[in-house]
Chains A and B, each alone.
Chain A
């Protein structure tokens, strides 16, 4: 009993201390706001991404680009409708885990974020979206292409990027348009998480409509240490077209094994492939990945806005801006636009403003404005075909965004 009392006393004392400290902090905060005028108002934007784990590199690039966008907006005077309020990014680490992502989402909400963004992995994004819904705080997906998560009737969630359905349908449409007569057979190889399986399903169902015969569908775990058996199978099947859906490390493993055995394939095309669309992929593999294609989301290469963005990113972080990072950047502009129109940082007002988003000036390779349907999906989201030519990524299809003509292997 004595011991229980002691424990209770400690708990009570620490709670009181915590309350006092919090009270002081809040007091000094409001004092400062009153003293120095309205420009000290800060709007918090949450960002939950896997900063530790296998996707730390991609996550960091998304956060870098979000910070870049916030710097630009703050430097240009912040949110004018709110007296030049400044944006601040509050970062959470999902550690590539759905549970951690959800608890980080709650933490960011408790810290007073007006809107949240995330998370790069569909499985994690879903649990974060659920937390955002429960707490009635809007959530804007940066990167995650799973289709089902926007079929739950969520009312606080939005996504700018094309989902897996759009990717797969665009792939079928574009490949039918660009294929030559000597491409008769295909093999689909993909990692077996939600991301790979979603697109894989649609492609294998619709492959017949392209006139190309799908010989086999090979799946593997993205964390695998070897793909030699899978490549052995590929070598036996000798497809004209290899369709690959995967992340950076596993796709690299695939290409290494293909190169080692000297296997040449007429056309290699990724679908939202984390390897082929990464510039490190080109520096690692050089000529051997020349003419590789990827159906992916991308910035609009022909817009001046994009060119300026790529330069300032490189200047700031001395690294090329990845295609994923673009979504971090654009997400901040979509949020800033909503805040500007809402004139308020209350989550509900932000959500309502998000619903009537209509941004015509953006850096994305999609025709038309960024605008959301009733589910929260970007109506005009689309993919483009990107090809590696002379060691650079260039858009080759649709022609509206094309920088160069598609090249075929002999």
Chain B
């Protein structure tokens, strides 16, 4: 029974980070219909930004978070402006290839700048877990989960309650119509891409206390987050969060009952089944 609770908690906490990273993919797809294959590489960038701030200023990932968010927003904004805006309106595979190419460039740039060595960040007092009877809760993952909740709520408020959010939503529904209403669509695209990349970067930053940082460390999450975004319904923010939590728990339980080797198999089975049974995903609307 203990193992059951333990697996549930571990799954939900891990799922929170998946959800945040997937939310970025979903947001970008929702607004611009771009499948961002550079997402994993940008998670890695988030990790290295955090690591650099930790080395240079001696601040923990949690203190560094606002700086990481600003940096990642600027990176995302510029990537959209320089690379992706010129490709808006041409066939979709061009953007897909561009983001894949970007991922390779980023990985190798990191390799050149930081070498392939494993780096890590340590947060004082976070080496031991919280104990509740025989259940243990990993502190960095718990804190990450709280931040994920705050940031997801922030993005929700931004999208639903502000003029900027309305402009983003308008652009996602009808870019031409939005243009006619006086919305500068390219700029909205830049902001949306920036926000999506903030999600990736924050997920990366929050992973640093538990994961090693190396030039391809985001790759573990790249495909998984894409699976989660599709499973939740591409473009649907609540779908991404729900799917992230489900995938986290599914992974945890398949490791418990069937063995760790099974967890990836089952995650990708869910992906294939989603595409066959409900291609629009859990909460996605019919396209």
Given contacts A52-B107, A221-B263, A221-B264, whether A280 and B211 have CB atoms under 8 Å apart is no
* A404 CB to nearest B CB, Å: 27
Stretch at the interface among B27-35, B151-159, B213-221: B213-221
Neighbouring B residues of A228 by C-beta, 8 Å:
6-7, 10, 14, 138, 252
Q: What is the total number of residues of chain A having a CB less than 8 Å from a CB of chain B? A: 35
Neighbouring A residues of B263 by C-beta, 8 Å:
221, 224
Query: A56 to B116, Cβ gap below 8 A?
Result: yes
A232–B221 Cα distance when bound, in Å, is 23
Given contacts A54-B214, A225-B221, whether A232 and B256 have CB atoms under 8 Å apart is yes
Query: B138 to A52, Cβ gap below 8 A?
Result: no
Query: A229 to B7, Cβ gap below 8 A?
Result: yes
* A298 CB to nearest B CB, Å: 21
B105 within 8 A of A: no
Can you name 20 A-B residue pairings with CB atoms under 8 Å? A51-B116, A52-B107, A52-B216, A54-B214, A54-B216, A56-B116, A57-B118, A219-B260, A220-B255, A221-B260, A221-B264, A225-B220, A226-B210, A228-B14, A229-B6, A232-B2, A232-B7, A249-B214, A260-B128, A260-B129
* B208 CB to nearest A CB, Å: 13
The 10 closest A-B pairs by CB, nearest first: A220-B260, A56-B116, A229-B255, A228-B10, A260-B129, A192-B261, A57-B116, A232-B6, A261-B136, A229-B256
Neighbouring B residues of A60 by C-beta, 8 Å:
115-116
A400 within 8 A of B: no
B274 within 8 A of A: no
User: How would you classify the secondary structure of chain A's contact residues: helix, strand, loop or mixed?
Assistant: helix
Query: B252 to A229, Cβ gap below 8 A?
Result: yes
A198–B189 Cα distance when bound, in Å, is 51
Query: A229 to B260, Cβ gap below 8 A?
Result: yes
Neighbouring B residues of A151 by C-beta, 8 Å:
none
Query: B118 to A249, Cβ gap below 8 A?
Result: yes
Instruction: Name the interface size band of chain B.
Output: 35 or more
Neighbouring B residues of A221 by C-beta, 8 Å:
260-261, 263-264
Interface digits, B96-132 against A, CB 8 Å rule (1 contact, 0 not)? Answer: 0000000000011001000111101000000111000
A72–B10 Cα distance when bound, in Å, is 52
B83 within 8 A of A: no
- CB interface residues, A 8-67, toward B, < 8 Å: 51-54, 56-57, 59-60
A405 within 8 A of B: no
- Where the two chains meet, the residues of A that have a C-beta atom closer than 8 Å to any C-beta of B are 51-54, 56-57, 59-60, 192, 218-221, 223-230, 232-233, 236, 248-249, 252-253, 256, 259-262, 280, 284
Given contacts A52-B111, A57-B117, A192-B261, whether A252 and B212 have CB atoms under 8 Å apart is yes
Neighbouring A residues of B6 by C-beta, 8 Å:
228-229, 232
Given contacts A52-B107, A219-B259, whether A236 and B3 have CB atoms under 8 Å apart is yes
Given A57-B118, A253-B211, A280-B118: 4 more A-B contacts, CB < 8 Å: A54-B216, A219-B261, A225-B221, A226-B252
Considering residues A51, A249, A259, which has the most beta carbons from chain B within 10 angstroms of its beta carbon?
Answer: A249
A250–B108 Cα distance when bound, in Å, is 23
Closest to B256 in A: A229
A260–B131 Cα distance when bound, in Å, is 10
Closest to B104 in A: A52
A109–B193 Cα distance when bound, in Å, is 45
Interface digits, B191-218 against A, CB 8 Å rule (1 contact, 0 not)? Answer: 0000000000000000100111011100
* B252 CB to nearest A CB, Å: 5
Query: B211 to A225, Cβ gap below 8 A?
Result: yes
Neighbouring B residues of A229 by C-beta, 8 Å:
3, 6-7, 10, 252-253, 255-256, 260
A256–B123 Cα distance when bound, in Å, is 13
A406–B263 Cα distance when bound, in Å, is 38
Neighbouring B residues of A262 by C-beta, 8 Å:
128
Query: B14 to A226, Cβ gap below 8 A?
Result: yes
Query: A225 to B128, Cβ gap below 8 A?
Result: no
A248–B117 Cα distance when bound, in Å, is 11
Partner of A57, one of B120, B214, B264: B214
A280–B120 Cα distance when bound, in Å, is 11
Given contacts A225-B220, A236-B3, whether A52 and B256 have CB atoms under 8 Å apart is no
A54–B107 Cα distance when bound, in Å, is 11
Neighbouring A residues of B264 by C-beta, 8 Å:
221
Closest to B120 in A: A284
Neighbouring B residues of A252 by C-beta, 8 Å:
212
Neighbouring B residues of A53 by C-beta, 8 Å:
216
* A160 CB to nearest B CB, Å: 24
Considering residues B120, B138, B252, B255, which has the most beta carbons from chain A within 10 angstroms of its beta carbon?
Answer: B255
Closest to B3 in A: A232
Query: B260 to A52, Cβ gap below 8 A?
Result: no
A185–B264 Cα distance when bound, in Å, is 30
